[in-house]
Amino acid sequence: MTENSAARRRWPAWAVPFVAAAAAVAVWLVGAALGVDVEARTGASTQSVTVVAVLVAALVVGLAGWGVRVMIGRLARGGGEVAWLVLCGLVLLGSLVGAASGTTPEAIAILMAEHVVVGFVVALGLRQGPGGASRTA
């Protein structure tokens, strides 16, 4: 790991899913403190979005992102930082469609904030790959 990449990395790659989950829970807690009942439409019914669901979903996304980042780092020339960030942007845009399924404008805002926060933590936390430095091929 170069000195520059060490300065850029704020936490180890294994911690990124946990930081993303903590950030998502923080957004959910802010919504709860503001009195927002976060519910999402699932077909013809609605489902309450609990703090446990937020925690588990963010952990799953973070761990999946870590796995994808490892693969991109192994396959892409130069570590694949640009490919990773483009992929993260596309996945985030797609996830925001699902976040729009909230039952109220407030619920939609909380869901979108959770998606954006998790997306940014995962994208930026893993942008240099699990080893920290972009490899040159």
pLDDT per residue over 52-68, tens digit each?
999 999 999 999 999 99
pLDDT tens digit sequence for 7-63: 455 679 999 999 999 999 999 999 999 999 999 998 889 999 999 999 999 999 999
Average pLDDT, whole number, for the chain? 88
Of residues 100 and 11, more confidence is placed in 100
Residue where the block lists tokens 């999946």:
64
| Angle value at C-alpha 79, between 74 and 81, nearest 5 degrees | 125
Quickly state the pLDDT bin for 134 (edges 50, 70, 90): very low
Look at residue 106 in the predicted model and tell me its pLDDT: 97
Q: How far is the C-alpha of 110 from the C-alpha of 96, rounded, in Å?
A: 11
Strand 39-42 and strand 45-48: the pairing is: antiparallel
The mean pLDDT of 117-130, rounded to a whole number, is: 91
**What global pTM score does this model have?**
0.85
- Of these ranges, 18-32, 73-87, 122-136, the one predicted with the greatest mean pLDDT is 18-32
Quickly state the pLDDT bin for 4 (edges 50, 70, 90): low
The mean pLDDT of 111-135, rounded to a whole number, is: 83
